[in-house]
Amino acid sequence: MAASVSSKQNQQPHFVLVPFMAQGHMIPMIDMARLFAERGVFVSLVTTPHNASRFESIITRASDSGLPIRLVQIPFPSREVGLPVGYENLDSLPSRDLLRKFFKALNMLQKPLESYLEGERNPSPSCIVSDKSLFWTSETARRFNIPRIVFHGMCCFSLLATHNIMLHNVHQSVTSDTEPFLIPGVVPQRVEITRAQLPGAFVIQPDLDDFRDKMREAETTAFGVVVNSFEELEDGCPERYGMALNKKVWCIGPVSLSNNDDLDKMERGNRASINYRYCLEWLDSKEPNSVVYACLGSQCRLLPSQLVELGLGLEASGQPFIWVVKPGERFFEFEEWLSEEGFQERIRGKGILIMGWAPQVLILAHKAVGGFLTHCGWNSTIEGVCSGLPMITWPLFAEQFLNEKLVVEVLRVGVRVGVEVPVRWGDEEKIGVLVKRDGVKRAVEMLMDGRDEEAKSRRERARGLREMARRATDEGGSSYLNISSLIQDIANY
């Protein structure tokens, strides 16, 4: 522990942020870095060259504006582990077979990170904020006698649910993977889930289980957990999760609200695959609350046949839409379908198809957007909350079925598309098509029906959450005060 509290308190705090190299994990930590810098913390954001290229302009703009923030680039050891050069991000891996090599490469970042920290004296590092997957940062923190704070990229509801299910072993009380069981001790509402829908922590993965065990062990030594959420959204879950871990839990979100201008929103995450001015002009031409924005995330690897059903369902709904599709393996089959069926010609004026990266926060904030079809990744979910939008939920894997429970059953701002089982990486062929076009059409109609009282109530509740989120991040709000507490807790360490 630090030798002198008073000397530390007189020194500018220096937070070293180390995100996991996947878009859904990096984006909130970039926002977090800027939030800390805005509060006077010196921030080093550590990543690799390929990943840095995705958001370097945002950090440069923040630094040029006077914020004490810098980007630290350390080489990614692709060749050393047998990965093709340039594959520095989980999203870019062409095959699940490369995952173990990818994690080995991440572990090899420990030495260059420590070399950087050894040279840092003005100000010296105060703490490490790192992704749960980077378990070796706990050893680095111990060597430098500073605390490590864990970032999961999940909400407290899902973190607590995972913890309690594992603690009480309730998933073993059912006789099949599809039999529902009660999630204990999370919220007053009766919320059930099936074994098939549980996050990866419950899934046996022989090639990765040793990494997962090290992550869990490292978390037990962490000083606390930082969460991209706000206390009012999760009604008691942050406190209960902190008590369950016997650790500090700071809810400091929604961090996406730190993006105040269109340029930051446009460049958030990656370079957009569409001209954002064209996109905004198209949205300007639509009625308020009429457009459905559909995006299933940067890790979506659905079969071309499932993408076709989704597209035809959006078209059949009659609502204008923006549909984001991630190119990937066998994407040529989807492109062939587009060409042969004339889909893009048919939807001209009524829909936009974005193949690649979309400026999601910018789109969701537009008054014409009235609904969000989402995979329930936490970043997308909290961005939907910030935009005051009701959601259509289509969970794919990880903790996304838990997030769906929060959205649909607890917050009551969502409509299920009807997915009951996950589509994990490598299982796409085995799972096949889960949702037909009629299911998509039905969900869109339920969400967007302006005459239905339940749809109106759902939309009103969603708008209420948006205002709640803004109050939490305003000066004096719960998340604002939690950032202050976190900074003070590190100073007192």
213 plus 303 within the same structural domain:
no
Say whether both 251 and 285 belong to one domain: no
Determine the pLDDT at residue 5. Answer: 42
> Which residues have a Cβ under 8 Å from the Cβ of 196 and sit 6 or more positions away?
177, 178, 420, 421, 422
Specify which residues 224 forms β-bridges with: 149, 248
Q: Report pLDDT digits (tens) over 1-33.
A: 343 444 555 689 999 999 999 999 999 999 999
Based on the domain organization, do 294 and 229 belong to the same domain?
Answer: no
Residue 483 lies in a domain: yes
Residue 268: per-residue pLDDT: 78
Q: Are the beta carbons of 164 and 244 closer than 8 angstroms?
A: yes
Those residues whose C-beta lies under 8 Å from the C-beta of residue 199, and which sit 6 or more positions away, are 158, 162, 398, 399, 401, 402
**What integer pLDDT is reported at residue 11 of this predicted model?**
83
pTM greater than 0.75: yes
So what's the pLDDT on residue 15? Answer: 98
Residues 290 and 176 in one domain: no
Decide if 139 is inside a domain.
yes
Looking at the structure, tell me whether residues 192 and 278 fall in a common domain: no
pLDDT at 269: 66
- What pLDDT is attached to residue 384? 98
Predicted confidence (pLDDT) per residue in 67-104, tens digit: 999 999 999 999 999 999 989 999 889 889 999 999 99
Same domain, 403 and 415: yes
Based on the domain organization, do 331 and 348 belong to the same domain? yes
Position 262 in a domain = no
- Strands 192-193, 181-182: pairing is antiparallel
In this structure, is residue 169 part of a structural domain?
yes
Same domain, 235 and 282: no
List Cβ neighbours of 7 (8 Å cut-off, separation of 6 or more). Answer: none
Same domain, 318 and 226: no
Residue 426 confidence (pLDDT)? 86
Edge-first strand order for the sheet with 369-374 is 351-355, 321-325, 291-295, 369-374, 391-393, 414-416
Residue 265 within a domain: no
CATH of residue 78: 3.40.50.2000
**Shared-domain flag, residues 198 and 289:** no
User: Rounded to the nearest 5°, which phi and psi values hold at 321?
Assistant: -150, 155
- Residue 4 pLDDT: 42
Question: Domain range for residue 334?
Answer: 272-470
Residue 407 lies in a domain: yes
Say if residue 439 is in the same domain as residue 342: yes
Instruction: Report the phi/psi class of residue 269: left, alpha or beta, with left for phi > 0 and alpha for psi in -120 to 50.
Output: left
Cross-strand partners of 14: 42
* 266 within a domain of the structure (yes/no): no
Any residues with CB less than 8 A from the CB of 172 and at least 6 apart, and which? none
Which residues of the chain fall short of a pLDDT of 70? 1-10, 269-270
Q: Would 205 be classed as within a structural domain? A: yes
Does residue 198 share a domain with residue 322?
A: no
pLDDT of residue 328: 78
Number of domains making up the chain? 2
